[in-house]
Copies of this chain bind each other. A is one copy, B any other.
Amino acid sequence: MERITAHYLIETPYKLEDAAAVLAGEQSSGTFVSVPGETEELKARFAAKVENIEELETVSNPSIPGDSNSSSYKRARVSVSWSIENFQYNIPALISTLQGNLYELRQFTGLKLDDFDLPLSYSEKFRGPVFGGKGTKGLAGVEEGRPMIGTIIKPSVGMTPENTAEIVKELLKAGIDFIKDDELMASTANSPFEKRVSLIMKEINKYQDRTGKKAMYAFNISGDLDTLRSNYESILKHDGSCAMISINSVGWAGVKAIADLGELSIHAHRNGWGMLNRHPLLGINFPAYAKLWRLAGVDQLHVNGIRNKFWESDESVIRSIKSCSAEFLDYKDLLPVVSSGQWGGQAFDTYKFTGTTDLLYMAGGGIMAHPSGPGAGVRALKQAWEGAVSGKTLEETAKKYKEFAESVQKFGNKN
The answer to whether A87 touches B188 (Cβ under 8 A) is yes
A246 in the interface (beta carbon within 8 A): yes
The answer to whether A311 touches B272 (Cβ under 8 A) is no
The answer to whether B184 touches A27 (Cβ under 8 A) is yes
A200 in the interface (beta carbon within 8 A): no
Would you give the shortest CB distance from A234 to chain B, in whole angstroms?
15
CB-based nearest B residue for A415: B32
Bits for A21-32, please: 1 = Cβ < 8 Å to B, else 0. 000000111111
CB-based nearest B residue for A284: B275
Would A157 and B28 be within 8 Å (CB), given that A93-B249, A184-B86 are in contact? yes
Give complex CA distance A37, B152 in Å.
Answer: 13
Would you give the shortest CB distance from A150 to chain B, in whole angstroms?
14
A105 in the interface (beta carbon within 8 A): yes
Residues of chain B contacted by A340 (CB below 8 angstroms) = 104
- Could you list 16 examples of A-B contacts with CB < 8 Å? A31-B365, A34-B365, A35-B368, A46-B158, A86-B157, A87-B184, A87-B188, A93-B222, A93-B223, A96-B222, A104-B274, A105-B310, A225-B257, A228-B253, A275-B282, A278-B282
Question: Which residues in A have some Cβ–Cβ distance to B below 8 Å?
Answer: 27-38, 42-43, 45-46, 64-67, 83, 85-88, 90-93, 95-97, 99-106, 111, 152, 154-159, 163, 167, 183-184, 186-190, 220, 222-225, 227-228, 246, 248-257, 269, 271-276, 278-280, 282-284, 304, 309-312, 340-341, 364-365, 368-369, 411, 414
